[in-house]
Chains A and B, each alone.
Chain A
Amino acid sequence: MSSAPVQSAEQDSVEMSYAEAIRDALDIALGEDERVVLMGEDIGVYGGAFQVTGDLVNKYGEDRVMDTPISELGGAGVAVGAAATGLRPIFEFQFSDFAMLAMEQICNQAAKMRYMLGGEVSVPVVMRFPAGSGTGAAAQHSQSLEAWFGHVPGLKVVQPATPYDAKGLILAALDDPDPVMIFEHKILYKQKGLVPKGRYTVPLHKAEIRRAGADITIVASSIMVHRSLEAAELLFDKGVSAEVIDLKSIRPIDKQTIIESVVKTNKLICVYEGVKTLGIGAEISALVAESAAFDYLDAPILRLGAADCPVPYNPELEKASVPQVENIYQQALALCRREL
């Protein structure tokens, strides 16, 4: 589909927050294509729990920016059904944690319908999940469940880390014929960045090297990209050149970018906010160990994920339960110093 040329992006860019970039994408989609509808709890008059949809209801009306009843299963079911029958719905969960109520519609219906109906029907639904910890919202409103969805064939799962990617990935998701799950990070909503005006897309299957380096590869996604970049800066002061890869998509995973990087740096740390056990890092570790990069490993592969516990309410414990800049820095340094 159409994708803005990178060179023209800068002169036509404006600074906006991650939430504003998402709203910009939704605005463009609603304006371009009348099949696009927004659905979700409190996304209309209230503007969304995190004020992402804002005043879009005023511009496009309640028929296209629809408040749904407090039933995630019902709302998701309507979105999936609408997608299967010709609309391009974008469904917002208030908190990604609540998506568990809608698993049947997402994993059993949306993900499988095209396959089970012999390709005659596709489900081009886009779902948005405000995720992650750091808001003091306790165990039921702070999870990072993206890996659950990454386990389901038929879904695409992305985690934008910047305003630019948030907008580009939403527009790419709308162009995709299959269900795309977008995990947005609540802490990132206010983060600002340059975002091109108008339509552009970011590929749904491609990771990006955010910082090039020679000594160690740090693969991260979402907010962990920023923490990894900060850690890389500290590592640089210690003479360690870290390469930071922004995964962007966890299904599919851009294996090639990771493998090529590990072949270059010989060391790998996976940083993710989901629970460490059976998480994204396990998948990346295994795919590297199975690949040609195995023979280039000069240290054990490390995973830095959340502690195996519900996210604590206490702010200090909450912080301690997920990887922070200091953890990434220390672990990477230890690995490069052959202490691990």
Chain B
Amino acid sequence: MPTEVIMPKVDMDMSTGTLAQWHVKEGAIVGKGEPLFDIETDKATMEVESPASGTLQFVMAQGGDEIEIGKCIAWIFGEDEHLKEPEGALSSTTTEVVHTTVIPAADAPKDEAQIKEYRSTNTGDIRVTPLARRIAKDRGIPLETIKGSGPSGRITRVDVESARVERNEAQTTSNFELASHLERIGVDFVHEPADRMRQRIAKRLTESKSTVPHFYIEAECNMDNLLQFRSDLNSALANSTDSLNKDLSTLKISINDLVVRACAQSLTTVPEANVSWDNGNIIRYADANISIAVSLDSGGLVTPVIRGAQSKAINRIATEIRSLAVRANNGSLKNTELQGGSFSVSNLGMYDVKAFNAIINPPEAMILAVGGIRKQVVVTTDNQTKISSVMTVVLSCDHRVIDGVLGAQWLREFKRFIEQPALLAMDLS
């Protein structure tokens, strides 16, 4: 039996994948495990290996095509397998489904049952009458948004029609309606489609802000010690060219590196805050996996993750952040590097902002919004005034798993690590 090549699922909330390009031409021979095609997700481009050795035939998708997860896009024929076989088999359910290996996807389909599960989440498996499907398509209403009233939730015409009414009431200013409205009132503008990343940001953050109950706690950190600490670190590194390797001696530790380290330390001393809400259950993370918001030169942002930051020294965190930032910009981040965060840091300090509130990056429960460092007159413990460097941070918390006190405890810890930076050098894990 020839082997089916399917569009794999490489990301949790992915329902379609974009085929970037084939590495093998139709009719050419490919070995099992050799690169077969690339898929493009909104985060990265990934290479998919061939599930079998043989000749690539019946290629049903081309570069740029958006394809449902689990859908067959081509066949690989072994030497003794006949060309005629799959024609009938294309729509057959008895076809042997062979898992397509993806690097580096951790959650690609592993067996037939899993593939079935993926398929069942596709719109292709929504029960809908032909008429309802056609009306929904004509009117641009996604079937996933319609509740069916027929047996087993089958969507019928009335369901589509009532969905349309609700939708019209709810969304009087959808994007396209906005464009036509602006045209009507004579406002000059350019209407362009958003790229996948922008759409993903829009979708995820809308979901977060409308479903995750946010609350915010603000703190002001005295930065005098941390600035001194950083300056000591950097001059010590620069003065040690004789004993340290070049990478290390030329490394400049940034404020942000130290902030990330302080977050990791705080998650270690307040492990109750290192959690996620999981639909009625609580996930407790074993490690401080810190997502760093990295804005891209090309626009948009990604949040690569430093896993196990609690046991990584300052210099390792610093080099890792440099590497992630470079690779985020050239698009070579691996999918695994973009997933699994338990906490996020978003730093707008370099833009001279005082403070801001960030939207939680699901499924994480907290995000720290870091403002710029500024000089300020402060009152010392002995009631004297003094000019100090201060930094305002705002912690956003998911109230489903983080209560006010827990958030405040975490923030107090963070402030302690920032204000007594020698503690950042300790391994508390």
Expressed in whole angstroms, the Cα–Cα distance for A340 and B133 within the complex equals 18
Partner of A296, one of B131, B151, B158: B131
Residue B129 at the chain A interface, CB threshold 8 Å: yes
CB distance from A36 to the nearest CB of B (A): 49
Contact with B along A264-275 (1 / 0, CB 8 A): 001000000000
Interface centre among B129, B149, B156 (most CB of A within 10 A): B129
Interface pair A298/B151, CB less than 8 Å apart: no
Residue B6 at the chain A interface, CB threshold 8 Å: no
Expressed in whole angstroms, the Cα–Cα distance for A299 and B155 within the complex equals 10
Residue B258 at the chain A interface, CB threshold 8 Å: no
Partner of B131, one of A298, A338, A339, A340: A298
Residues on the B chain within 8 Å of A340, using CB: 151
Expressed in whole angstroms, the Cα–Cα distance for A141 and B139 within the complex equals 55
With A298-B157, A299-B129 already in contact, 11 other A-B pairs whose C-beta atoms are closer than 8 Å: A266-B129, A266-B157, A295-B133, A295-B134, A297-B130, A298-B131, A298-B156, A299-B156, A338-B150, A338-B154, A339-B151
Chain B contact residues: helix, strand, loop or mixed: helix
Residues on the A chain within 8 Å of B150, using CB: 299, 338
Residue B132 at the chain A interface, CB threshold 8 Å: yes
Seen from chain A, the residues whose Cβ lies within 8 Å of a Cβ on chain B are 266, 294-299, 338-340
Residues on the B chain within 8 Å of A295, using CB: 130-131, 133-134
Interface pair B130/A338, CB less than 8 Å apart: no
- 7 A-B residue pairs with Cβ-Cβ distance under 8 Å, sorted by A, are A296-B131, A297-B130, A299-B129, A299-B156, A338-B156, A339-B151, A340-B151
Residues on the B chain within 8 Å of A299, using CB: 129, 150, 156
Residues on the B chain within 8 Å of A338, using CB: 149-151, 154, 156, 158
B contacts with A, residue count (CB < 8 A): 13
CB distance from B316 to the nearest CB of A (A): 60
CB distance from B212 to the nearest CB of A (A): 36
Residues on the A chain within 8 Å of B158, using CB: 338
CB distance from A136 to the nearest CB of B (A): 38
Known: A266-B157, A338-B156. A297 touches B129 (CB 8 A): yes
CB distance from B136 to the nearest CB of A (A): 12
Residues on the B chain within 8 Å of A296, using CB: 130-131, 134
Interface pair A298/B132, CB less than 8 Å apart: yes
Expressed in whole angstroms, the Cα–Cα distance for A298 and B131 within the complex equals 5
Q: Which residue of A lies closest to B158 (CB)?
A: A338
Residues on the A chain within 8 Å of B132, using CB: 298
Expressed in whole angstroms, the Cα–Cα distance for A294 and B132 within the complex equals 11
Expressed in whole angstroms, the Cα–Cα distance for A266 and B130 within the complex equals 10
Known: A298-B157, A299-B156, A338-B156. A266 touches B131 (CB 8 A): yes
Interface pair A297/B131, CB less than 8 Å apart: yes
Interface centre among A295, A296, A338, A339 (most CB of B within 10 A): A338
Residues on the A chain within 8 Å of B130, using CB: 294-298
Expressed in whole angstroms, the Cα–Cα distance for A338 and B132 within the complex equals 13
Q: Which residue of A lies closest to B159 (CB)?
A: A338
Ranked nearest first, the 8 interchain pairs of A and B with the lowest CB-CB distance are: A298-B131, A338-B150, A298-B129, A297-B130, A298-B157, A295-B134, A295-B130, A296-B131
Expressed in whole angstroms, the Cα–Cα distance for A306 and B133 within the complex equals 33
CB distance from B126 to the nearest CB of A (A): 15
CB distance from B179 to the nearest CB of A (A): 30
Q: Which residue of B lies closest to A266 (CB)?
A: B131
Expressed in whole angstroms, the Cα–Cα distance for A299 and B131 within the complex equals 9
Interface centre among A294, A297, A298, A340 (most CB of B within 10 A): A298
CB distance from A281 to the nearest CB of B (A): 19
Residues on the A chain within 8 Å of B157, using CB: 266, 298
Expressed in whole angstroms, the Cα–Cα distance for A295 and B132 within the complex equals 8
CB distance from A265 to the nearest CB of B (A): 11
Residues on the B chain within 8 Å of A339, using CB: 151
Q: Which residue of B lies closest to A299 (CB)?
A: B129
Residues on the A chain within 8 Å of B133, using CB: 295
Expressed in whole angstroms, the Cα–Cα distance for A338 and B158 within the complex equals 10
CB distance from B143 to the nearest CB of A (A): 14
Residues on the A chain within 8 Å of B129, using CB: 266, 297-299
Contact with A along B121-164 (1 / 0, CB 8 A): 00000000111111000000000000001110010111000000
Expressed in whole angstroms, the Cα–Cα distance for A203 and B358 within the complex equals 77
CB distance from B137 to the nearest CB of A (A): 10
Contact with A along B91-131 (1 / 0, CB 8 A): 00000000000000000000000000000000000000111
CB distance from B289 to the nearest CB of A (A): 48
Expressed in whole angstroms, the Cα–Cα distance for A295 and B128 within the complex equals 11
Contact with A along B223-250 (1 / 0, CB 8 A): 0000000000000000000000000000
Q: Which residue of B lies closest to A297 (CB)?
A: B130
CB distance from B335 to the nearest CB of A (A): 39
Interface centre among B131, B134, B150, B156 (most CB of A within 10 A): B131
Expressed in whole angstroms, the Cα–Cα distance for A203 and B151 within the complex equals 41
Residues on the A chain within 8 Å of B154, using CB: 338
Residues on the B chain within 8 Å of A294, using CB: 130
Q: Which residue of B lies closest to A293 (CB)?
A: B130
Expressed in whole angstroms, the Cα–Cα distance for A306 and B132 within the complex equals 31
Q: Which residue of A lies closest to B160 (CB)?
A: A298
Expressed in whole angstroms, the Cα–Cα distance for A338 and B150 within the complex equals 5
Expressed in whole angstroms, the Cα–Cα distance for A212 and B424 within the complex equals 84
Q: Which residue of A lies closest to B154 (CB)?
A: A338
Expressed in whole angstroms, the Cα–Cα distance for A340 and B157 within the complex equals 14
Residues on the B chain within 8 Å of A298, using CB: 129-132, 156-157
Q: Which residue of B lies closest to A294 (CB)?
A: B130
Expressed in whole angstroms, the Cα–Cα distance for A340 and B154 within the complex equals 10
Residues on the B chain within 8 Å of A266, using CB: 129, 131, 157
CB distance from A266 to the nearest CB of B (A): 5
CB distance from B153 to the nearest CB of A (A): 11
Expressed in whole angstroms, the Cα–Cα distance for A298 and B130 within the complex equals 6
Expressed in whole angstroms, the Cα–Cα distance for A266 and B150 within the complex equals 15
CB distance from A172 to the nearest CB of B (A): 36
CB distance from B397 to the nearest CB of A (A): 45
Residues on the B chain within 8 Å of A297, using CB: 129-131
